[in-house]
Amino acid sequence: MKNDKLILDVAYQPQERTARNTSSIMLDVIIALIPASVWAVWQFGMKSLILLVVSVCSSVFFEWGYRKLLHKDSSIGDLSAVVTGLMLAMTLPPTAPAWVAVIGCFFAIVIVKQLYGGIGKNFLNPALAGRAFLMASYATIMSSYAVPRSLAKEVDAISMATPLTYMYGGQEVPEFFTLKSVFLGTMPGTLGEVSALLLTIGGIYLIIRKVISWRIPLSFIGTVAVVSLIAGSATMDHGNWMLYNILCGGVILNGFFMATDYVTSPITAKGQIIYGIGCGAITMLIRYFGSFPEGCSYAILIMNLCTWAIDKAFNNRQFGVSREDVKAAKASKKAAKEAAK
């Protein structure tokens, strides 16, 4: 019954009891990620399948091992470790060796999640924190991308640059990265960020199943779109620049799957929109001014740290308290202050 408590914790008022629990939600997330994973395996071959499997297994193993070692209840049944492992693998480049995934899972599960008390208590998204750890440790491995199967004819090499590297390196994007190819996902990138189409389908499935709300993905992706449309670039017209900014890189994956993590995102509607806008704005700041071409994961980690403040600032009115009541309370507070002077 522990799992039901979690749902009550993250819902905002008024609350309602449902039959859903953590494991059914996590199962939905896994289902939503399957199309994109299958696509990645098709594009990048067996190596990426091994990466996915190793990542999921080691994630579950660390979760089980830590709880066992400290004589706590096992929590692998809630499937959250499977999701963390899957998501971490999604943020790895296909050429990454499997041991990198194991180290990333160790950091994500043991240090970011379990040391702070396990599911529901971590203040950072474990998968993204794992990715940031790997990025800082194995920068070379983490920034070389394999050539996908569908580009093998055009590109005769082992690794190639992602469209974002061209875009923010001030170069022309090669012709084979057409809008259609970046939308369908015939481009290099991390395992999970290549197919915008399949990720969007997964995301919409989650919204229909009411696992996530539309607010964070829409405000996140929307902010990226607005900023790139206004700021533009010398190499492309503004409309195309905006589409490439959304479809290339991790905006779709992160917007639908990472930023919407219950534990580390705000719980109120207003808060979620502010959070999404923050993620989008920081992503674009990093893309334009940072030293890496892509900044989604850092943007979300930074906003994770702001979540408590957003929750505090955009707290909902208590159920049953009207707008007039709030105004009256404010006015009386002000009056009391002035009287004190």
Partner 1 sequence: MNKILKLALVLFLVCAVTAGILGGINELTKDRIAEINRLATIAAYSTVLKADGYDLVEADMSDFPTVDKISRATNGAGHVVELTVSGAQGLITIAVGVAPDYTCTGISIIDHSETSGLGANAAAESDVGRNFRAQFVGADESVALSKFGGAIDALSGATITSNAVTTAVATAIRAVMALG
Partner 2 sequence: MNIKNQFKEGLITNNPVLVQQIGMCATMAITTTLFNGIGMGLSVLIILTCCNVVISALRKIIPNEIRLAIFVVVIAGFVTIVDLLLQAFIPALSKSLGVFIPLIVVNCIIIGRAEAFCQKNTVGASFFDGIFQGFGYTCVLIIMCVARELLGSGRFGGGLIDVANGFRFTLDGTGSGVQIFPAEYGASILNLPFGGFITLGMLIAVMQYALKKSKKKKELAARLVLEEAERKEAEA
**Is there a contact between 163 and 177 (Cβ–Cβ < 8 Å)?**
yes
Nearer to partner 1, 137 or 332 (CB): 137
Nearer to partner 1, 44 or 145 (CB): 145
Q: What is the C-alpha separation between 102 and 108, in angstroms, rounded? A: 10
Check residue 315 for interaction with partner 1 (CB under 8 A). Answer: no
**Is there a contact between 252 and 199 (Cβ–Cβ < 8 Å)?**
yes
Q: What is the C-alpha separation between 209 and 196, in angstroms, rounded? A: 20
Region from 29-37, 136-144, 204-212, 296-304 binding partner 1, contact rule CB under 8 A? 136-144
Nearer to partner 2, 103 or 184 (CB): 103
Check residue 111 for interaction with partner 2 (CB under 8 A). Answer: yes
Check residue 214 for interaction with partner 2 (CB under 8 A). Answer: no
List the interface residues with partner 1, window 275-304 (CB under 8 A). Answer: 291-292
Residue 138: HSE in the Cβ half-sphere, 13 Å Cα cutoff: 17
Residue 129, Cβ neighbours under 10 Å: how many? 25
Query: Among partner 1, partner 2, none, what binds residue 103 when CB lies within 5 to 8 Å by partner kind?
Result: partner 2
Contacting residues for 231 by C-beta, under 8 A, at least 6 apart: 284, 288
Nearer to partner 1, 77 or 169 (CB): 169
Q: What is the C-alpha separation between 40 and 333, in angstroms, rounded? A: 58
Region from 98-106, 166-174, 194-202, 296-304 binding partner 1, contact rule CB under 8 A? 166-174
Check residue 234 for interaction with partner 1 (CB under 8 A). Answer: no
Q: What is the C-alpha separation between 220 and 300, in angstroms, rounded? A: 10
Region from 16-24, 137-145, 147-155, 221-229 binding partner 1, contact rule CB under 8 A? 137-145
Nearer to partner 1, 138 or 183 (CB): 138
- Sign of dihedral through CA atoms 37, 226, 311, 322? negative
Q: What is the C-alpha separation between 289 and 227, in angstroms, rounded? A: 13
Check residue 138 for interaction with partner 2 (CB under 8 A). Answer: yes
Site string for partner 2, 85-104 (x = CB under 8 A): --------------x---x-
Region from 135-143, 170-178, 232-240, 241-249 binding partner 2, contact rule CB under 8 A? 135-143
List the interface residues with partner 2, window 154-183 (CB under 8 A). Answer: none
Q: Binders of partner 2: how many residues, by CB under 8 A?
A: 8
Q: Which of 171, 178, 318, 332 binds partner 1 (CB under 8 A)?
A: 171
Residue type, 133: F
**Is there a contact between 236 and 244 (Cβ–Cβ < 8 Å)?**
yes
Q: Which of 64, 116, 133, 183 binds partner 2 (CB under 8 A)?
A: 133
- What's the distance, Cα to Cα, between the start and end of the chain in Å? 53
Q: Which of 301, 313, 239 is nearest to 273 (CA)?
A: 313
Q: Which of 77, 117, 169, 239 binds partner 1 (CB under 8 A)?
A: 169
Q: What is the C-alpha separation between 285 and 283, in angstroms, rounded? A: 5
User: Please, what is the minimum distance in Å from the beta carbon of residue 59 to partner 2?
Assistant: 17
Residue 222, Cβ neighbours under 10 Å: how many? 16
In sequence order, the β-bridge partners of residue 145 are 160
Check residue 140 for interaction with partner 1 (CB under 8 A). Answer: yes
Check residue 116 for interaction with partner 2 (CB under 8 A). Answer: no
Which residues are near partner 2 by CB under 8 A? 99, 103, 111, 133, 136-138, 140
Which residues are near partner 1 by CB under 8 A? 136, 138-140, 143, 169-171, 291-292
